[in-house]
């Protein structure tokens, strides 16, 4: 099992150089469920999105967690909240439920989601 505190710290450290704290910019953490993983195990990719006011989105890959599960992902995101509280966007999680409360992670696919 991966240590959620350690994974959250790595995620925050990877985001920090891209987080400019400019008034009017939008920030978002995108979490992608890599269903067709090469290893056949669940893995998750994290992308940091910054959109300057009146500008284009800048999306940076920040972390990829291999061979994980939803319990570890949920614990990592809870720990990550101690560093940043960005809006989260989930992709590839339709039909998946959070282990702690049974709520859907993603209710429907985004229009641009395959």
**Average pLDDT estimate for 90-108:** 89
- Report if residue 81 sits inside a domain: yes
Q: What is the pLDDT of residues 12-22, one digit of tens each?
A: 999 999 888 88
- Report if residue 112 sits inside a domain: no
Instruction: State the virtual CA torsion across 103, 105, 111, 114 in degrees, nearest 10.
Output: -130
- Report if residue 25 sits inside a domain: yes
Q: What is the pLDDT of residues 42-66, one digit of tens each?
A: 789 999 999 988 889 999 999 998 8
- Report if residue 78 sits inside a domain: yes
How many folded domains does the chain comprise?
1
* Structural domain containing residue 37: 4-91
pTM higher than 0.95: no
- Report if residue 42 sits inside a domain: yes
Q: Closest by alpha carbon to 4, among 80, 67, 60, 63?
A: 80
**Per-residue pLDDT at 76:** 94
């Amino acid at each position: 099992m991966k240590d959620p505190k350690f994974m959250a710290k790595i995620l925050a450290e990877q985001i920090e150089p891209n987080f400019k704290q400019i008034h009017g910019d939008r920030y978002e953490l995108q979490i992608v469920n890599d269903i067709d993983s090469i290893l056949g195990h669940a893995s998750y990719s994290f992308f940091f999105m910054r959109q300057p006011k009146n500008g284009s989105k800048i999306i940076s890959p920040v972390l990829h967690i291999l061979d994980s599960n939803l319990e570890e992902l949920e614990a990592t995101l809870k720990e990550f909240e101690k560093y940043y509280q960005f809006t989260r966007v989930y992709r590839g999680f339709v039909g998946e439920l959070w282990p702690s409360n049974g709520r859907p992670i993603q209710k429907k696919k985004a229009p641009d989601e395959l």
